A and B are shown apart, each in its own frame.
Chain A
């Protein structure tokens, strides 16, 4: 498995990227895809986290759709509200994050009674358009 910021998109990052893991710890991390029916990642999405005290942190997705926050940059102090923006397209999570800093902990595929499905930006691909990512 290659290492680096492009690896393992869509997987629960903090399984390894926590204090007990063997990878640099993250406080929040995840992957953003183009829409609910696509596993095509989007780069350049600004993911903004706002915690219970109003503290804000923003991170931008790379070409694998991955984004992350390190503990020194942002500590998870739930509840955390999350929104995403790329250009004119803006999307907010319906519910806050309380404990799990891995987006994929709740946003695994397929969507079902216990999973919200992968994180996506575009609600209607026919109305909202963004360029897809091209990782090299």
Chain B
């Protein structure tokens, strides 16, 4: 399968995914199937990614190369050497890579959610985060809390950075 991505800056359905059908023998293939799919805006994703990184992207969870959903960045998995988890801040390419990883999980369903034709609970991302579906990392958000709103508002084209920033800036437990 080939996958190409076109980014349109900051629109409700800011990205088109063109999915070409599987073609083990291209010369024998007599048809080409293309689907135009919508996805949430890439331009709004960095702060969403920052919230995901802290909540889901540690090295013992989705900061692992073996995961379908990978979240790259500071404090977690880095895209390439010489960056290390405790090194430089998250790069633009890492944000893009995390974005591509997320929108590639269930692109057809994501398209329906992004265009408000499907409930966000149709996405594994949301079900697992809310604990509706089994998740090794357990329930990470409750419906309506900051992480949940951060993700769902972005998915549905109603992006609001405030809940994402609340997640990122949440005080850590008193350690003194």
Contacts and interface: CB of A to CB of B under 8 A. Distances in A.
Interface of A: 48, 50-51, 54, 78, 81, 83, 92, 94-100, 105-106, 111-117
Given A81-B173, A99-B136, A111 B60 contact: no
Nearest to B173: A50
Contacts of B59: 100, 105-106, 114-116
How would you classify the secondary structure of chain B's contact residues: helix, strand, loop or mixed? loop
A94 B81 CA distance: 20
A99 B175 contact: no
Interface string B150-176: 000000000000000000000011110
Contacts of B64: 114
Interface stretch (B12-20, B29-37, B72-80, B105-113): B72-80
Contact of A83 (B60, B63, B78, B175): B175
Given A100-B59, A111-B85, A113-B81, 8 more contacts: A78-B138, A92-B172, A92-B175, A95-B58, A96-B54, A96-B58, A98-B61, A115-B84
B152 to A, nearest CB: 21
B60 A54 contact: no
Interface residues of B, number: 27
Given A99-B137, A114-B77, A54 B58 contact: no
Interface string B71-101: 0001111111101111000000000000000
A57 to B, nearest CB: 12
Contact of A111 (B61, B84, B173): B84
B60 A99 contact: yes
B65 interface: yes
Contact of A116 (B79, B85, B138): B85
Given A111-B84, A116-B84, A100 B60 contact: yes
Contact of A81 (B80, B138, B172): B172
7 contacts: A48-B175, A50-B175, A99-B61, A111-B86, A113-B83, A114-B59, A117-B84
A113 B173 CA distance: 27
A84 to B, nearest CB: 10
B172 A97 contact: no
Nearest to A92: B175
Contacts of B79: 113
A59 to B, nearest CB: 15
A92 B175 CA distance: 9
Contact of B58 (A50, A106, A112, A113): A106
